[in-house]
């Protein structure tokens, strides 16, 4: 076996494998270059999911003839003025993207520095053709044909054109969110897929990408600590998704998928959302460039913070604060969904266009259902006024109750839903979910005031770990003890668990618990495992200790529950992120009956 030095083209292809993983990755690099060049308009044209053609045009600074020649060489960049990898003011800094693309595709660049003559260069499979004059008068146009033709192995692993295109659109949206003043257009196979005009107000760009539903149900976040600023929008916990795909996180204008940041989001919503559900949010973290290392991941999507604890503290407390402030509001999407479900659930969809205008005076909804009269009459018979008056309080008292946010209890149906009247409409409360939240918050308040009770173990549990893990865990022994977990050193690679929180005793495997804590400490310098588990147990206990659906309540009891909800943090949702109540405005109800 002989060691040999690899030829330049092969070196570039190997590097390209890391940086340019798929068409979307190439586009990300090229769009970042356009932004770094100060472009205010960027147009992206792709064909065949980006595999056959990518064209990126920008109106940025352009390049001189010499710069153009250097641009496609590996490790040639205009963006690192000194030798400090922490002094990064641009999206690019490695000088790798163009070289990588040139190594695996047919690349052609035309560029011009405002008003000066234009130049063009072509590179195929790493071989440069001489620079020639070009008709370009402003900015840069980059054309990438037959991506990965030089690396058939990679080509084979491309997904369908559609899947590649979805990834392209996603990455452009992610970048565009952070650059509202730049106009972006994306065309795929001759069809316009994205048109994002330049916006003065960053919120307008966010709304275009995340949708108005998000905006109607988002809390504004603005917080600062020791020169680190966090801004953006976070969704109410009742608006959630199965994946974290709708979480847009940025560090200094750069979209990232960072574990630490994702962990912060999870920790902040831990109390108000089931573990497998994810909130929607767009958060922008801004901090001095020397406090963050961007050079961690080939696609620059992960970062390392100089002071991770500070960043974590800032994000978690900003989110928790907002959640607390908005703890009483369930998302409007909940009531919209409710309203939406009224109609299709029981009746065939009305054929509106046929009837539009011809029944102007008659509520159109009734006019189209022959069977309506019957069921309408039937429901009147089933209605028993006497059952209602019995439990209802005096009129004057009633009035004052209605002024409370959750209103005055009017009825309980199916032994679980409380119907209340508010000044502006009505509320339906899920009494079990509501009670679950009340019990849970009570448990937490108790723990906060009296501390967590410990349960000593008769014989200590010896947990063997890697030596470094054991040290990590022991370094945090004091904090852990506050949460009820008592640890002592045991040799170099083990800890002796002396006591566990009484709440968890018999419910968790100490080994897994300690290992999880060690893993989290190694990764983030901080661990939520204990708190998460304790909260999980509390929430299970709350669930079992709550009024099960099926219990009848009288008006007094119902009103007492409503008042308690109004006084309890996070009471708009149960511990699993399900809403505890739905608010229907009178105007919504009128709309249902075609009255408005
Ligand atoms: P990096 O962005 O890390 O510097 P690239 O390989 O992406 O590395 O680009 C190399 C250089 O080419 C950049 O530093 C920049 O000077 C120049 N360049 C690339 N794209 C453009 C563009 N669209 N407009 C102006 N200059 C560009
Ligand atoms: Mg670049």
- 595 class by beta-carbon count within 10 Å (0-12 exposed, 13-18 middle, 19+ buried): exposed
Q: Determine the distance separating the centroid of ligand 1 and the alpha carbon of 189, expressed in angstroms.
A: 26
**In the prediction, which pLDDT does 401 show?**
86
Tokens of 577: 């992120």
Least confident piece of the model among 333-347, 350-364, 497-511:
350-364
* Residue to probe by mutation, ligand 1, list 16, 19, 31, 33, most atoms within 8 Å of CB: 33
369 pLDDT more than 60? no
Q: Determine the distance separating the centroid of ligand 1 and the alpha carbon of 58, expressed in angstroms.
A: 12
**In the prediction, which pLDDT does 46 show?**
98
Least confident piece of the model among 86-90, 225-229, 256-260:
86-90
Tokens of 435: 């009670």
- Which pairs count as long-range contacts for 210-219, CB under 8 Å and 24+ apart, including other chains? 210/246, 210/248, 210/280, 210/282, 213/239, 213/333, 214/239, 214/246, 214/280, 216/331, 216/332, 216/333, 217/331, 217/332, 217/333, 218/280, 218/281, 219/322, 219/323, 219/325, 219/326
Is 27 a pocket residue for ligand 1 (Cβ < 6 Å)?
no
108 pLDDT more than 70? yes
Is 172 a pocket residue for ligand 1 (Cβ < 6 Å)?
no
Enumerate residues 6+ apart whose C-beta is below 8 A from 186. 43, 44, 45, 46, 168, 169, 172, 192, 193, 194, 195
Which residue did the predictor score with more confidence, 300 or 132? 132
Q: Other CB atoms closer than 10 Å to residue 189's CB: what's the count? A: 14
Question: In terms of Cα–Cα distance, which of 119, 118, 78 is closest to 98?
Answer: 78
Is 57 a pocket residue for ligand 1 (Cβ < 6 Å)?
no
Q: Quick one: pLDDT band at residue 374, thresholds 50, 70, 90?
A: very low
CA atoms within 13 A on the CB side of 96: 20
* Most confident by average pLDDT, 184-188, 363-367, 372-376: 184-188
350 pLDDT more than 60? no
Q: Determine the distance separating the centroid of ligand 1 and the alpha carbon of 222, expressed in angstroms.
A: 33
- Nearest atom in ligand 1 to 76's CA: 10
**In the prediction, which pLDDT does 420 show?**
93
Beta bridge partners of 221: 232
**In the prediction, which pLDDT does 502 show?**
81
Q: Determine the distance separating the centroid of ligand 2 and the alpha carbon of 90, expressed in angstroms.
A: 9
Q: Determine the distance separating the centroid of ligand 2 and the alpha carbon of 98, expressed in angstroms.
A: 7
Is 92 a pocket residue for ligand 1 (Cβ < 6 Å)?
yes
Q: Other CB atoms closer than 10 Å to residue 493's CB: what's the count? A: 14
Tokens of 183: 């106009």
577 pLDDT more than 80? no
Per-residue pLDDT reduced to its tens digit, 552-564: 888 888 999 899 8
Quote the percentage of the chain above a pLDDT of 70.
Answer: 86
**In the prediction, which pLDDT does 381 show?**
28
80 pLDDT more than 90? no
**In the prediction, which pLDDT does 240 show?**
84
By alpha-carbon position, which residue is closest to atom 16 of ligand 1? 78
Mean pLDDT of the residues in the chain: 83
Per-residue pLDDT reduced to its tens digit, 173-200: 999 999 999 999 999 999 999 999 999 9
Question: In terms of Cα–Cα distance, which of 503, 492, 494 is closest to 461?
Answer: 494
Quote the percentage of the chain above a pLDDT of 90.
Answer: 41
Is 61 a pocket residue for ligand 1 (Cβ < 6 Å)?
yes
Q: Determine the distance separating the centroid of ligand 2 and the alpha carbon of 230, expressed in angstroms.
A: 26
- The residue-averaged pLDDT of 373-394 equals 35
Q: What is the DSSP string of 322-385?
A: HHHHTTT---HHHHHHHHHHHHHHHSPPP-HHHHTTTTTTS-HHHHT-TTHHHHHHHHHHH--H
Q: Quick one: pLDDT band at residue 370, thresholds 50, 70, 90?
A: very low
- The residue-averaged pLDDT of 203-229 equals 90
Q: Determine the distance separating the centroid of ligand 2 and the alpha carbon of 48, expressed in angstroms.
A: 23
Is 58 a pocket residue for ligand 1 (Cβ < 6 Å)?
yes
**In the prediction, which pLDDT does 341 show?**
56
Least confident piece of the model among 3-12, 296-305, 339-348:
339-348
Q: Do the bridges between strand 127-128 and strand 118-124 make them parallel or antiparallel, or are there none, so unpaired?
A: antiparallel
**In the prediction, which pLDDT does 273 show?**
84
* Residue to probe by mutation, ligand 1, list 27, 73, 77, 144, most atoms within 8 Å of CB: 77
**In the prediction, which pLDDT does 111 show?**
97
**In the prediction, which pLDDT does 399 show?**
72
- The residue-averaged pLDDT of 89-95 equals 87
- The residue-averaged pLDDT of 400-426 equals 90
Q: Other CB atoms closer than 10 Å to residue 366's CB: what's the count? A: 14
Distance CA 240, CA 42 (A): 32
Is 33 a pocket residue for ligand 1 (Cβ < 6 Å)?
yes
Beta bridge partners of 461: 497
Give percent helix, percent strand, percent coil of the chain, each to the nearest 5: 40, 25, 35
72 pLDDT more than 80? yes
Q: Quick one: pLDDT band at residue 357, thresholds 50, 70, 90?
A: very low
- Nearest atom in ligand 1 to 139's CA: 24
Enumerate residues 6+ apart whose C-beta is below 8 A from 165. 46, 49, 50, 188, 193
- Which pairs count as long-range contacts for 586-593, CB under 8 Å and 24+ apart, including other chains? 586/424, 586/425, 586/426, 587/425, 588/335, 588/339, 588/425, 589/425, 589/426, 591/339, 592/339, 592/342, 592/343, 592/365, 593/363, 593/365
Q: Quick one: pLDDT band at residue 583, thresholds 50, 70, 90?
A: confident
By alpha-carbon position, which residue is closest to atom 1 of ligand 1? 95
Least confident piece of the model among 60-74, 211-225, 344-358:
344-358
Name the residues around ion ligand 2, CB cutoff 5 A: 33, 92, 97
205 pLDDT more than 60? yes
On whether the CB atoms of residues 235 and 332 are closer than 8 A, the answer is: no
Enumerate residues 6+ apart whose C-beta is below 8 A from 538. 440, 443, 444, 447, 503
Q: Determine the distance separating the centroid of ligand 2 and the alpha carbon of 179, expressed in angstroms.
A: 16
Is 63 a pocket residue for ligand 1 (Cβ < 6 Å)?
yes
Distance CA 227, CA 225 (A): 6
269 pLDDT more than 80? yes
On whether the CB atoms of residues 17 and 153 are closer than 8 A, the answer is: no
101 pLDDT more than 80? yes
**In the prediction, which pLDDT does 538 show?**
73
**In the prediction, which pLDDT does 328 show?**
66
């Amino acid at each position: 076996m002989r060691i040999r030095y690899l030829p330049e083209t092969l070196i570039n292809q190997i590097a390209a494998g890391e940086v340019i993983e798929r068409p979307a990755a190439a586009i990300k690099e090229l769009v970042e270059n356009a932004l770094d060049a100060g472009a205010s308009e960027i147009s992206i044209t792709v064909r065949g999911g980006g595999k056959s053609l990518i064209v990126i045009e920008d109106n940025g600074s352009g390049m001189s003839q010499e710069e153009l020649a250097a641009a496609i060489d590996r490790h040639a960049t205009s963006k690192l003025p000194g030798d400090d990898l922490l002094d990064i003011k641009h999206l690019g800094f490695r000088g790798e993207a163009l070289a990588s693309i040139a190594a695996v595709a047919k690349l052609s660049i035309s560029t011009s520095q405002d008003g000066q003559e234009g130049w063009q260069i072509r590179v195929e499979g790493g071989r440069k053709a001489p620079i020639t004059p070009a008709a370009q008068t402003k900015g840069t146009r980059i054309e990438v044909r037959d991506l990965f033709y030089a690396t058939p192995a990679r080509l084979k692993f491309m997904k369908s054109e559609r899947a590649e295109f979805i990834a392209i659109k996603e990455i452009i949206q992610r970048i565009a969110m952070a650059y509202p003043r730049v106009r972006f257009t994306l065309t795929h196979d001759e069809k316009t897929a994205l048109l994002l005009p330049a916006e003065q107000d960053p919120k307008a760009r966010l709304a275009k990408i995340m949708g108005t539903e998000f905006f109607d149900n988002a809390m504004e976040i603005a917080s600062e600590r020791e020169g680190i600023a966090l801004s953006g929008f976070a969704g109410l916990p009742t608006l959630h998704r199965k994946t974290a795909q709708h979480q847009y996180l940025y560090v200094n204008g750069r979209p990232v998928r960072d574990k630490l940041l994702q962990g912060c989001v999870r920790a902040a919503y831990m109390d108000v959302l089931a573990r497998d559900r994810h909130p929607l949010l767009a958060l922008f973290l801004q901090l001095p460039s020397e406090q963050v290392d961007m050079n961690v991941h080939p696609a620059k999507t992960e970062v390392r913070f100089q002071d991770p604890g500070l960043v974590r503290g800032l994000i978690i407390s900003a989110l928790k604060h907002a959640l607390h402030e908005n703890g009483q509001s369930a998302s409007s999407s909940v009531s919209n969904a409710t309203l939406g479900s009224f109609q299709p659930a029981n009746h065939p969809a009305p054929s509106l266009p046929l009837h539009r205008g011809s029944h102007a005076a008659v509520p159109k909804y009734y006019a189209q259902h022959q069977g309506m009269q019957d069921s309408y009459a039937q429901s009147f018979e089933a209605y028993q006024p006497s059952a209602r008056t019995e439990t209802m309080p005096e009129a004057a008292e009633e009035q004052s109750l209605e002024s409370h946010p959750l209103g005055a209890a009017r009825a309980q149906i199916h032994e679980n839903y409380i119907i209340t009247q508010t000044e502006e409409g009505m509320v339906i409360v899920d009494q079990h979910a509501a009670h679950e939240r009340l019990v849970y918050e009570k448990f937490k308040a108790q723990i906060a005031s009296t501390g967590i009770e410990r349960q000593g173990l008769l014989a200590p549990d010896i947990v063997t770990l890697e030596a470094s893990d054991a040290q990590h865990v022991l370094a945090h022994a004091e904090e852990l003890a506050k949460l009820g977990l008592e640890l002592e050193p045991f040799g170099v690679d083990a800890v002796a668990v002396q006591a566990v929180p009484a709440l968890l005793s018999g419910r968790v495997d100490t080994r897994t618990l300690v290992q999880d804590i060690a893993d989290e400490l190694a990764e983030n310098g901080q661990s939520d495992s204990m708190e998460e588990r304790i909260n999980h147990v509390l929430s299970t206990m709350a669930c079992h200790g709550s009024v099960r659906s099926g219990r009848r309540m009288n008006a007094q009891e119902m009103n007492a529950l409503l008042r308690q909800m109004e006084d309890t943090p996070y009471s708009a949702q149960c511990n699993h992120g399900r809403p505890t109540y739905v608010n229907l405005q009178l105007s919504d109800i009128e709309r249902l009956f075609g009255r408005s």
